[in-house]
């Protein structure tokens, strides 16, 4: 009987050891936020606001998944706004409201961002350029193309794209299904495949991975390319969700995409990533924005709230709290026998 009880306790401990800390933290945060919203701002959890929030949460989740892949390789992608904005502009301007041209416009946008991702991956993974400098420069280049194509003038999306991305299925926004599918694909690819495990190994320790015969440069380059595919999907969804998106529609996805990655428990130093936790963190950030908006908080204050959430996420997963406690309170030293305290 005692052995059976000990075995059950060991199994429970083993289960909780396998669950990422970020997954537990962000799940508790999401549940707590929705409970707090229901108490302090009930209007933010009614049907209308939820249906308005979920599509944008889905876009953020997909963009954050792309950022997760890059962060897993110890980098950061500052070209998220440019990639999403370019996709939006190409999807709306090339299609020009014609449903028959939507597929062509989508493919053109995909090719454009894949070229950008390949350049990012080459100069960072192959040439060793700093990710911040490289992706910041690429973001400026993408915005230059955006302004060249659009002239800063927004155009209306096509009816077909609006129906696909902004419609409802079983009462749920279609964008949510895209986000769930993208999260599942990324999670399986990273966690359940040989290539995914090698990808995480390269991000955790590039030197050891190189010594083991893994192709470090290829994995680092691939992270930026696959991230662009996800930014493209996020941009296509955004182009359909909004009736007439602007040329700068991607601007609001840089800080939140990084915040979702950090809150999901992925280390900024690279290594293991947690796609499902990242997607839940995107939901948390989107509902947090809806919550503070329902409270009547200004846009500047909402931006500060996002920055504060990012700071909390960094502190939760990177700060050595045990060392801080020892510095603040000190460790008790053993008093030798026979000596006075």
Rounded-to-integer distance, Cα 76 and Cα 55, Å: 25
In a domain, 133, yes or no: yes
DSSP 26-49: HHHHHHHHHHHHHHH-GGGGSHHH
Residue pair 72/273 in contact (Cβ under 8 Å)? The answer is yes
In a domain, 118, yes or no: yes
Among the listed residues 182, 178, 196, 205, the one whose alpha carbon sits nearest the alpha carbon of residue 273: 196
pLDDT score at 16: 44
Among the listed residues 123, 104, 100, the one whose alpha carbon sits nearest the alpha carbon of residue 112: 104
| Position with higher pLDDT, 296 vs 133 | 133
In a domain, 89, yes or no: yes
Residue pair 121/220 in contact (Cβ under 8 Å)? The answer is yes
pLDDT score at 150: 84
Rounded-to-integer distance, Cα 60 and Cα 53, Å: 11
This prediction's pTM:
0.85
pLDDT tens for residues 71-97?
999 889 999 999 999 999 999 988 888
Bridge partners (DSSP) listed for residue 172: 169
In a domain, 14, yes or no: no
Cβ count within 10 A of residue 221: 21
pLDDT score at 8: 53
pLDDT score at 13: 45
pLDDT score at 323: 60
Looking at the 3D structure of the chain, how many domains does it have?
A: 1
Separation in Å, CA 167 to CA 16, 159, 208, 241? 38, 11, 48, 9
pLDDT score at 185: 95
pLDDT score at 168: 87
DSSP 113-170: HHHHHHHHHIIIIIT---HHHHHHHHHHHHHHHHHHHHTT---PPPHHHHHHHH-EET
Residue pair 262/76 in contact (Cβ under 8 Å)? The answer is no
Supply the DSSP symbol for 333: P
pLDDT score at 9: 46
As a whole number, the mean pLDDT across the chain is 83
Confidence label for 15 from pLDDT (cuts 50, 70 and 90): very low
In a domain, 225, yes or no: yes
Rounded-to-integer distance, Cα 96 and Cα 93, Å: 5
In this predicted structure, the answer to whether residue 335 has a pLDDT above a threshold of 60 is no
pLDDT score at 329: 66
pLDDT score at 338: 52
Secondary structure of residue 98 in the 3-state scheme:
coil
Residue pair 173/166 in contact (Cβ under 8 Å)? The answer is yes
pLDDT tens for residues 95-125?
888 888 899 999 999 999 999 999 999 999 8
pLDDT score at 66: 95
Q: Which residue in this structure is represented by tokens 């947690």?
A: 274
| Position with higher pLDDT, 5 vs 178 | 178
In a domain, 52, yes or no: no
Cα R_g (the chain), whole angstroms = 23
Confidence label for 327 from pLDDT (cuts 50, 70 and 90): low
User: Which tokens is 80 given?
Assistant: 């998220």
In a domain, 221, yes or no: yes
Among the listed residues 252, 313, 254, the one whose alpha carbon sits nearest the alpha carbon of residue 281: 313
In a domain, 333, yes or no: no
Confidence label for 302 from pLDDT (cuts 50, 70 and 90): low
Confidence label for 318 from pLDDT (cuts 50, 70 and 90): low
Most confident of 9-18, 179-188, 211-220, 319-328: 179-188
Range of the domain at 172: 70-256+268-273
pLDDT tens for residues 122-152?
999 888 899 999 999 999 999 999 999 888 7
In this predicted structure, the answer to whether residue 315 has a pLDDT above a threshold of 70 is no
pLDDT score at 214: 82
pLDDT tens for residues 159-213?
899 899 988 888 899 999 999 999 999 999 998 898 888 888 888 888 888 888 7
Rounded-to-integer distance, Cα 229 and Cα 111, Å: 9
């Amino acid at each position: 009987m005692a052995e059976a009880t000990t075995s059950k306790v060991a199994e429970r401990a083993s289960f909780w050891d396998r669950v990422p800390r970020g997954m537990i933290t962000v799940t508790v945060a999401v549940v707590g936020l929705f409970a707090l919203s229901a108490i302090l701002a009930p209007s933010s959890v009614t049907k209308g606001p939820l249906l308005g929030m979920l599509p944008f949460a889905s876009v953020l989740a997909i963009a954050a998944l792309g950022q997760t892949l890059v962060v897993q390789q110890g980098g950061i992608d500052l070209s998220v706004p440019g990639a999403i904005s370019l996709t939006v502009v190409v999807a709306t301007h090339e299609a020009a409201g014609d449903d028959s041209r939507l597929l062509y416009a989508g493919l053109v946008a995909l090719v454009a961002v894949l070229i950008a991702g390949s350049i990012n991956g080459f100069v960072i993974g192959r040439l060793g350029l700093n990710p911040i400098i490289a992706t910041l420069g690429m973001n400026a280049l993408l915005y230059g193309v955006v302004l060249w194509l659009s002239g800063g003038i927004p155009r209306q999306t096509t009816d077909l794209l609006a129906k696909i991305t902004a419609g409802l299925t079983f009462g749920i926004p279609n964008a949510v299904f895209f986000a769930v599918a993208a999260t599942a694909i990324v999670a399986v690819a990273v966690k359940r495949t040989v290539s995914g495990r090698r990808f995480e190994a390269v991000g955790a320790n590039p030197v050891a991975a190189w010594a083991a015969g893994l192709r470090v440069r290829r994995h680092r380059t691939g992270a930026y390319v696959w991230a662009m595919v996800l930014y493209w999907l996020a941009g296509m969804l955004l182009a359909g969700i909004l009736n007439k998106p602007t040329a700068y529609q991607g601007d609001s996805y840089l800080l939140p995409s990084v915040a979702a990655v950090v809150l999901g428990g992925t280390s900024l130093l690279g290594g293991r990533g947690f796609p499902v936790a990242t997607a839940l963190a995107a939901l948390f950030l989107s509902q947090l924005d809806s919550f503070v908006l329902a409270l009547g908080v200004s846009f500047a204050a909402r931006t500060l709230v996002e920055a504060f959430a990012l700071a909390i996420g960094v502190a939760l997963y990177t700060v050595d709290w045990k060392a801080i406690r020892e510095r603040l309170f000190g460790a008790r030293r053993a008093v030798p026998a026979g000596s006075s305290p």
